[in-house]
Amino acid sequence: MSKDFAVTNPATNEVVEKFDTFSDEQIQEVLAKSNEAFQTWRETPIEERAKIVSRAAELFKERKGELAKIAAQEMGKSTPEGEWEINFSGDILQFYADNAPEHNKDQPVDVPGGKATLRRLPIGTLLGIMPWNYPFYQVARFAGPNLMNGNCIILKHAEITPKSAAIIEEIFREAGLPEGVYINVYADHKQIEEIIGDKRVQGVSLTGSERAGAAVAEIAGRNLKKVVLELGSTDPYIILDAADVTKAAEEAWVKRIENVGQACTSNKRIIVMEDIYDEFVDEMVRIAEGMKQADPTQPGENQYYPMSSREAAENLDKQVKNAVDNGAKVRTGGNLHETAAYYEPTVLTDVPVGSDSYYEEFFGPVAEIYKVSSEKEAVELANNSNYGLGGAVFSDDTERATKVADQIETGMIHVNLGQYFSPVLPFGGVKNSGFGRELSVFALDEFVNKQYLYIND
């Protein structure tokens, strides 16, 4: 059963605003309007599309303060993190406005007996199913390339971020996007299944949980629809050595606590060599215990903010308790707020490798730390995962770290940096982390008809 679309302040657990789920009749109207808009949008010169998408990029940045406050109220993101996300969203849209016209140009191909041209043609209406953790960035990286391709978009956002969803559509319309090209819907699970199955919809992109991805992929497969999936992960973060262990711990903590630990590419499993392990754990405990509960709209130093919802915090609390029952140790934290969505920053060690808890994704402020005695053991532990999204390897010897990074089974891997953010680089994973790529010019090739035209001499 689907939840209601509502803004619930996670800092207080109070419902601020509700939004009505669309009726079945409204969904049919959306499908008809999107299909009609496609007939015109597909013929709009790509240079004209670029002007609109570029203006949307400007509007995101111009309104970043307003949008960041909405995200803080809806899912607890601190306003500085929200403003960073919105600026990056603008950068992504601008990247596609700047690069799609050249990338999508017709390409002549040498063949005997005639002339051949490879063309990238729009395919129609796409459904985007987006998560709450980065309510603007996730949409930008889906909408940017596909609007430039000439496709139309129906966007179903998370139930807890309906206000963000509405304002994104508003921004695109203000930027000059014709009516029907981008439509926000408040749809339930049954309606989503009907949208995917509708012959006017040509593909679906989902960012979310492994379970949601499997469900959507099954529906899409049954209806022979193209799918791009970006799902969960338990990203490894390997520290082979560190001359300054305190600094290494501080860098690892900053990465882990980003967005209150609610990021697909968080360093979910921190893997540390045994000679610095004890000192590293002590430093992580010290840092965690120095964090103070705070309001995301009034951010400061050494603060932690609420998770996205009370339900999310309760689920994380159950995961930690189950891990302890399996043999893990809580070094600090592990406490759930009485009523709101705050979960105390937690350091967890000794999670038994191979246990159910080991394979789970802890989507919140929990630092799991593992001790290894060799590079071989570190690689084996890193790759012992059902997922394969991102990861990082650290060493004062860059060559050593790179050799280990070469052995990690993920879609993205970093050396001596937790994560690099750029629209230029492709985003996506392997294993149960999904398939397909977002960002970079690769995203422009996911939902297009790579048609060849052959003219016989």
**d(C-alpha 362, C-alpha 375), whole Å:** 25
Mean pLDDT of 201-208: 98
Contacts 24+ apart (CB under 8 A), 316-320: 316/343, 316/362, 316/363, 316/364, 316/366, 317/343, 319/357, 319/360, 319/362, 319/366, 320/346, 320/348, 320/362, 320/366
**d(C-alpha 134, C-alpha 262), whole Å:** 9
Active site residue 264: yes
pLDDT tens digits, residue range 263-275? 999 999 999 999 9
What Cα–Cα distance (Å) separates residue 276 from each residue in 27, 174, 220, 330, 391? 57, 54, 48, 19, 20
Mean pLDDT of 382-396: 98
**d(C-alpha 55, C-alpha 430), whole Å:** 34
Residue 45: CB atoms within 10 A of its CB come to: 10
Closest of 452, 395, 456, 404 to residue 114, by C-alpha: 456
- Structural contact between residues 421 and 265, judged by C-beta atoms closer than 8 angstroms: no
Q: What is the DSSP string of 265-311?
A: TS--EEEEEHHHHHHHHHHHHHHHHT-EE--TTS--TTEE---S-HH
Mean pLDDT of 130-142: 98
**d(C-alpha 29, C-alpha 297), whole Å:** 38
Closest of 241, 255, 290, 232 to residue 368, by C-alpha: 255
pLDDT tens digits, residue range 343-358? 999 999 999 999 999 9
Q: What is the DSSP string of 397-414?
A: SHHHHHHHHTT--SS--E
pLDDT at 196 over 70: yes
Residue 302: CB atoms within 10 A of its CB come to: 9
- pLDDT-above-90 percentage for the chain: 99
**pLDDT tier for residue 1 given thresholds of 50, 70 and 90:** very low
Closest of 145, 147, 197 to residue 172, by C-alpha: 147
Mean pLDDT of 164-193: 98
pLDDT tens digits, residue range 70-129? 999 999 999 999 999 999 999 999 999 999 999 999 999 999 999 999 999 999 999 999
**d(C-alpha 214, C-alpha 257), whole Å:** 28
What Cα–Cα distance (Å) separates residue 8 from each residue in 3, 4, 19? 12, 11, 11
Average pLDDT, the chain: 97
**d(C-alpha 440, C-alpha 425), whole Å:** 5
Active site residue 230: yes
Mean pLDDT of 155-172: 98
Catalytic pick among 264, 283, 344, 446: 264
pLDDT at 2 over 80: no
Give me the half-sphere count of Cα atoms (radius 13 Å) on the Cβ side of residue 91: 14
Find tokens 């949601």 and name the residue.
212
Find tokens 């509700």 and name the residue.
18
- Structural contact between residues 212 and 182, judged by C-beta atoms closer than 8 angstroms: no
Estimate to the nearest angstrom the gap between the alpha carbon of 369 and the chain centroid.
23
Catalytic pick among 81, 85, 210, 230: 230
**pLDDT tier for residue 3 given thresholds of 50, 70 and 90:** low
What integer pLDDT is reported at residue 4 of this predicted model? 87
pLDDT tens digits, residue range 206-251? 999 999 999 999 999 999 999 999 999 999 999 999 999 999 999 9
Estimate to the nearest angstrom the gap between the alpha carbon of 437 and the chain centroid.
12
Closest of 370, 372, 375, 396 to residue 243, by C-alpha: 396
